[in-house]
Structure 1
Amino acid sequence: MESTRSEVAIDCPHLFRIYKDGRIEGLKGIHVVVPPSLDPKTNVQSKDVVCSQEPNLSSRLFLPKIINPNQKLPLLVYYHGGGFRTESPFSAQYHNFCNKLVAAANIIIVSVDYRKAPAHHLPVAYDDSWTVLKWVASHVDGDGSEEWLNCYADLKSVFLAGDSAGGNIAHRMAMKYGEEKLSGINLAGIVLIHPYFWGREPIGNEVRESKVRLMIDGFWHSAYPATSGCDDPLLNPATDPKFGSLGCSRVLIFVAEKDFLRDRGWYYSEILKKSGWGGSVEVVEAKEENHVFHLFNPENENAKAMLKSVASFINQEDHS
């Protein structure tokens, strides 16, 4: 019994472990929180701002070195990963990643600190993320509460991105934008990095991983006890009858060859193309890599290539 209790079914380095007895261990203790700063390597400035008093929500903003004060820059809203249970925009991994991305793409980033399970079960993280997106939109006339956005953000060129659970959130925010719209911003595209999607029926390599599948099922239910199950449209976009209303015209998906979520990223692309959506979607696969490898090995050549791809995606003209 003890050997089963201690046996790891899924080990997501630096984020969480799922044991074969169903226990879930969030590896919060190893995260190093860093203050906002002027990064000497990239000349990117960062600061923390309050986006909402009720609920109390904050974000970390990143601004590149301003060469032309009259130039408006694309804005990326970023949702961190961590299985809806751990991590934050203030951890060293996400802080450093955003610094590099801002410098590479010459953009502004709003990195969102949403509330997490188990203290705040889903759908709270979705609600918080939408609240911050509305806060961003409040700067449309240049008279919002944050001067960096008033002065430098091009709200006609807004992108959403996230990794793992954050990729799931970015998708959900794009769906909500497509259904409700949001006066003040134009959502140009989304970037999904190793997105956390799932489903009741196995696909691809999942067929051979029945025990792992049970653990991932349990992980979702622990984050969202009120869910309808693993075919909840929030987790499985293939079951969403409104998938074709995704509120942007371009999607970029990153998957990793050794990631247990790899096939879900490819599947997302396939079903999006069949949904009647009509935009363009691209999938980039990193060979020999695992889940969110870019956060913990940023000097890896595949991680550098990812940065370049995201920068190119954001800065290309949208001809759709």
Structure 2
Amino acid sequence: MASSTTEIVHEFQPFIRVYKDGRIERLLGNDVVPASVDPDTGVQSKDVEIAPEIGVAARLFLPRNANPHHKLPLLVYFHGGGFLVESAFSPTYHNHLNALAAEANVVVVSVNYRLAPEHPLPAAYEDSWVAIQWVASHFKGDGQEPWLKDYVDPQHVFFGGDSAGGNIAHNMGMRVGSEKPEGINLVGLVLNHPFFWGEEPIGNEAAESNFPNKAFVDNLWRLVNPLTVGSDDPFLNPALNPELSSLVCTRVLVCVAEKDILKDRGWYYKELLDKRGWKGKVEVMEAKGEDHVFHLFNPTCENALALLKRVASFLNQDKA
């Protein structure tokens, strides 16, 4: 019989292994890179502590030609990784947000939140809300971070993220609508391959070949949120949130990938917003032949560059 130090009780490839003795082995997303000046784009980055007592921090990105006399949009970004892996300081997200800050000419706050299963949901949501309140403090005259005070247009704030981070961005948008914090004028959401799900399969999820994928997602959600009601939790299934039409922003861009098991949920999100009487405009961009978060792993491919340009255009389309 295997000892408790080697016996695996949960294995979620490619994310983590959980051992019987409570040890967590993360299989990816462990590397970090320092903040720097990116030699290719000239984007500067730096790290800030937001709530060090609980480990909430952020990496900020400032474009090369930022000018305090021409304020820029702000993107508050939440990284993906199934709520289990990755960080705001990993090379994957550092490189992606360097490229996005340069292409879109926006300031970025990349939020570092606590990870499950050591810190199960709602920890990631609560940490993200702490970061949003910290951002808002600068537009009320209380914050001290000069990159936010000097370079950001507080009337052009966006939330964005990929996969689990897209889920967080949506739920933070809902919370802004319900709590209406002073200082945040949320214009739009950018949801890249957002992690939405539900008990009843939709679209291609119902195919027999996808049964293992459905079980994986169902079990993953229960691991990161052990007190959940299941895959119809309103945090995971926006269709079950009766307040969906009150989403406070006016524009949403959903990016999906043809081969991604989550693709149909992205399209369904658009359908829900349209049907529920939400007053904004929602767009969907589908990358043909691609799989989940392909743009992070192959950032120079044609589809990834097209996605980058589409997001940049979305963030700037109502700027003078």
TM-score by length of 2: 0.91
Match of 1:147 in 2: 146
Deviation at 1:215, TM superposition (A): 1.7
Structure 1 unpaired stretches of 5+: 19-23
Between the aligned partners of 1:190 and 1:241, the Cα distance in structure 2 is: 19
Moved more, 210-219 or 301-310: 210-219
Q: 2:41 maps to which residue?
A: 42
Partner SS state of residue 139, structure 2: coil
SS in 2 for 1:82: coil
Q: Any unmatched runs of 5+ in structure 2?
A: 1-6, 19-23
Q: Deviations over 1:154-204 (max 9, x none)?
A: 111100000000000000000001111110120000000000000000001
Tell me whether 1:235 sits opposite 2:208 in the alignment. Answer: no
Number of corresponding residues: 305
Distance 1:53 1:227 in 2: 27
Shift of 1:212: 2.0
- % identity of equivalent residues: 58
- The answer for the alignment partner of 1:199 in structure 2 is 198
* Residue 61 of structure 1: how far off its partner (Å): 0.3
Deviation at 1:53, TM superposition (A): 3.5
Between 247-256 and 47-56, the greater mean CA deviation after superposition: 47-56
> Secondary structure of the equivalent of 2:252?
strand
Matching of residue 127 in structure 1 with residue 126 in structure 2: yes
Q: 1:278 to 1:17 in 2, by over 3 A?
A: farther
| Structure 2 CA distance for aligned equivalents of residues 66 and 91 of structure 1 | 25
Provide Cα deviations, 1:96-117, integer angstroms capped at 9, x if missing partner.
0000000001100000000010
Q: Is the 8 A contact 2:190 2:311 kept in 1?
A: yes
Distance between the aligned counterparts of 2:301 and 2:291, measured in 1? 12
TM-score if structure 1 supplies the norm length?
Answer: 0.91
Partner-residue secondary structure (3-state), 2:309: helix
Moved over 3 A (4+): 9-12, 15-18
Report the residue type matching 1:130 in the other structure. Answer: W
Is the CA contact (8 Å cut-off) linking 2:253 and 2:314 kept in structure 1?
Answer: yes
Structure 2 counterpart of 1:266: 267
Partner in structure 2 of residue 285 of structure 1: 286
Q: Distance in 2 between matches of 1:43 and 1:248?
A: 31
Instruction: Give the C-alpha shift of residue 66 in structure 1.
Output: 2.8
- Deviation, structure 1 residue 314: 0.6
SS of equivalent residue, structure 1 residue 234: coil
Cα offset for 1:27?
Answer: 1.9
8 Å contact from structure 2 (residues 55, 113) kept in 1: no
CA distance in 2, matches of 1:296, 1:17: 22
**Cα RMSD (Å) of the superposition?**
2.2
Cα distance between partner residues in 1 of 2:311 and 2:272: 22
**1:93 and 2:121 matched:** no
Per-residue deviation, 1:25: 7.2
Q: State the Cα distance separating 1:26 from its structure 2 match.
A: 4.2
1:21 match: none
- Aligned partners of 2:25 and 2:52: how far apart in 1? 31
Deviation string 1:261-294 (CA, Å, 9 cap, x unpaired) is: 1111011110111111111000000001010000
Instruction: Give the conservation status (yes or no) of the 8 Å contact 1:198–1:236.
Output: yes
- CA distance in 2 between counterparts of 1:141 and 1:78 reads 21
Q: Give deviations 1:106-154, integer Å, cap 9, x for gaps.
A: 1000000000101100001000000000000000145412111111111
2:30 touches 2:85 (CA, 8 Å); kept in 1? no
